[in-house]
């Protein structure tokens, strides 16, 4: 079997709002083979920039478009192809956009392998730890603390036992920050699990103050309150915080995660398969976390391709904690792009058991929303 084509498909809602919501557009990767088997993946990044990384021409030995490297190759050789892509994009890759683009390709390659063998990806990875995995509903804060409380009540009424709120208006001032968490807890109830994503808004001193203030509301973790490279700040925070500190969605490749774990000392490692290097790298990151006694969770605020990929990965590692499941109310592009999407039932997600990712593109809807 040989790869015959690699497509990077940019889709978008008609209106992309100025909010931290990567579900408003997406970059889908589609790889076709001479055996008639097609694999899909996703890149959660700056879509058109990642598209250029994939479709760009050869420039020189260590700065070339990824598609150029893949045509004619065997899609089963995922480890070798990952290494080739990494080495041949040293100047433009290594971390950030280069790894993001590789992620979508790697996911699509594993999808091809699963379909060719008639097996779900988690089985190819040697998994089978779960039949279903507990999930939390993930959404942005409301415009006000009161609106946040109302959203929390609606989510609880849908049967979720855990919820995460994130980003603006968190970070405006101490009173607003605390009231956002207070109203989220009040709306969701005392017996539900509450996570808070600060959205990179504070320095270490402020984050320590907020962690102590939020502890009153029994939060399960405080997520990404600092800038991603502030490892010294993260170490100060984790040493002083009464609540668990989670981070990782901004990282790509295992070295980034090693820095965050060993220098930053975080408690919970969050891995986005559409940014970190795909399955090939994600299983290694989970292993490094397990060696340090740390739990892993996925990050995913984009399409169901990301969700399905995360579930396969979480089912293949022994230190999986919980799955993120987006319920953002004013974004629904993800509902149209794919078929056979998993659904949360009583606060859990079933592990897909169909070959590959267990999900397919809705070609009609992809054409409708395609921009480039």
What are the catalytic residues? Answer: 299
At 19, is the secondary structure helix, strand, or coil? coil
CB 225 within 8 A of CB 240: no
In terms of Cβ atoms closer than 10 Å to its own Cβ (0-12, 13-18, 19+), residue 360 is: middle
What does the alpha-carbon distance between residue 162 and residue 120 come to, in Å, rounded to a whole number? 27
Beta bridge partners of 223: 197, 246
CB 75 within 8 A of CB 105: no
Please state at what angle helix 278-291 crosses helix 97-117, rounded to 10 degrees.
100
Find where tokens 């190819």 sit: 124
Q: Are strands 58-60 and 38-43 parallel, antiparallel or unpaired?
A: unpaired
Peptide bond into 220 cis (omega under 30): no
- Residue positions counted in the chain: 372
Calculate the CA dihedral of residues 272, 275, 276, 277 and round it to 10 degrees: 130
* SS3 sequence of 252-305: CCHHHHHHHHHHCCCCEEEECCCCCCHHHHHHHHHHHHHHCCCEEEECCCCCHH
CB 283 within 8 A of CB 314: no
Residue 328: partners with Cβ closer than 8 Å, 6 or more residues away? 21, 23, 138, 139, 140, 301
Structure tokens at 239: 């040493």
* Nearest one of 165, 228, 224, 153 to 194, comparing CA atoms: 165
CA angle 211, 217, 221 (to 5 degrees): 50
């Amino acid at each position: 079997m040989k790869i015959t084509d690699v497509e990077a498909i940019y889709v978008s809602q008609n209106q992309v709002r100025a909010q931290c919501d990567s579900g408003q557009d997406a970059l889908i990767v589609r790889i076709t083979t001479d055996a008639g088997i097609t694999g899909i993946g996703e890149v959660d990044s700056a879509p058109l920039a990642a598209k250029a990384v994939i479709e760009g021409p050869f420039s020189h030995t260590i700065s070339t478009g990824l598609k150029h490297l893949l045509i004619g190759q065997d899609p089963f050789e995922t480890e070798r192809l990952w290494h080739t892509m990494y080495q041949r994009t040293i100047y433009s890759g290594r971390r950030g956009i280069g790894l993001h683009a590789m992620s979508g390709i790697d996911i699509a390659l594993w999808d091809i392998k699963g379909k060719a063998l008639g097996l779900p990806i988690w089985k190819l990875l040697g998994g089978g730890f779960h039949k279903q995995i507990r999930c939390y509903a993930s959404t942005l804060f409301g415009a006000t603390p009161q609106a946040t409380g109302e959203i929390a009540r609606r989510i609880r009424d849908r049967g979720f036992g855990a919820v995460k709120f994130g980003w603006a208006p968190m970070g405006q001032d101490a009173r607003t920050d605390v009231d956002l968490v207070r109203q989220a807890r009040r709306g969701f109830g005392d017996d539900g699990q509450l996570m808070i994503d600060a959205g990179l808004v504070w320095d270490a001193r402020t984050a320590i103050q907020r962690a102590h203030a939020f502890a009153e509301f029994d939060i399960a973790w405080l997520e990404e309150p600092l800038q991603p490279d502030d490892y010294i700040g993260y170490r100060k925070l984790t040493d002083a915080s009464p609540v668990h500190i989670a981070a990782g969605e901004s990282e790509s490749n295992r070295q980034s995660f090693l820095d965050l774990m060993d220098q930053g000392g975080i408690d919970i490692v969050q891995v986005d398969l559409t940014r970190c290097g795909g399955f090939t790298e994600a299983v290694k990151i989970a292993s490094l976390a397990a060696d340090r006694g740390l739990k892993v969770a996925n990050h995913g605020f984009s399409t169901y391709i990301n969700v399905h990929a995360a579930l396969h990965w979480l089912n293949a590692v022994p230190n999986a904690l919980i799955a993120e499941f987006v319920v953002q109310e004013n974004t629904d592009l993800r509902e149209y792009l794919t078929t056979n999407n998993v659904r949360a039932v009583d606060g859990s997600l079933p592990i897909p058991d169909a070959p590959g990712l267990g999900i397919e593109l809705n070609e009609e809807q992809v054409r409708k929303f395609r921009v480039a």
